[in-house]
Amino acid sequence: KQEVTQIPAALSVPEGENLVLNCSFTDSAIYNLQWFRQDPGKGLTSLLLIQSSQREQTSGRLNASLDKSSGRSTLYIAASQPGDSATYLCAVRLDAGKSTFGDGTTLTVKP
């Protein structure tokens, strides 16, 4: 059974700081991994999707990396802004198609 862990559960940083969010998974036979953000009371917004054959994906100030052998993915946020405050979730999809989510990291960026 795939287990997905996101540590830390919460993170508070000053505006402008670069930061890294972590996602660990136990089964390396993954199909893809997707990062989302979730604002309070809202649905999930897709940020980046990394296929199993890729090592990283970039979108604006966001960069996600994938290391299947170590069972890890990181989401790098450059020059953080207060608008980046949200909960960030990773979802790991196995070859069979089922996705397992971590419980997320709640990020607060202070002005």
Partner 1 sequence: EAGVAQSPRYKIIEKRQSVAFWCNPISGHATLYWYQQILGQGPKLLIQFQNNGVVDDSQLPKDRFSAERLKGVDSTLKIQPAKLEDSAVYLCASSLFRARIPYNEQFFGPGTRLTVL
- Backbone angle region of 42, left / alpha / beta, with phi > 0 → left and psi within -120 to 50 → alpha: beta
Q: Which of 18, 46, 59, 70 binds partner 1 (CB under 8 A)?
A: 46
Query: In the set 21, 25, 86, 102, which binds partner 1 (CB under 8 A)?
Result: 102
Region of 12-20, 58-66, 67-75, 86-94 interacting with partner 1 (CB under 8 A): 86-94
Residue 83, classed as helix, strand or coil, is helix
Q: Which long-range contacts (CB under 8 A, 24 or more apart) does 58-67 make?
A: 62/35, 64/33, 64/35, 66/33
Nearer to partner 1, 31 or 76 (CB): 31
Tokens of 4: 């997905």
- Provide, rounded to whole angstroms, the least separation between the CB of residue 36 and partner 1: 8
Of the residues 14, 43, 60, 83, which one makes contact with partner 1 according to CB under 8 A: 43
Question: Among residues 18 and 45, whose Cβ is nearest to partner 1?
Answer: 45
Q: Residue 75 carries which DSSP code?
A: E
Query: Taking CB under 8 A as the rule, does residue 18 contact partner 1?
Result: no
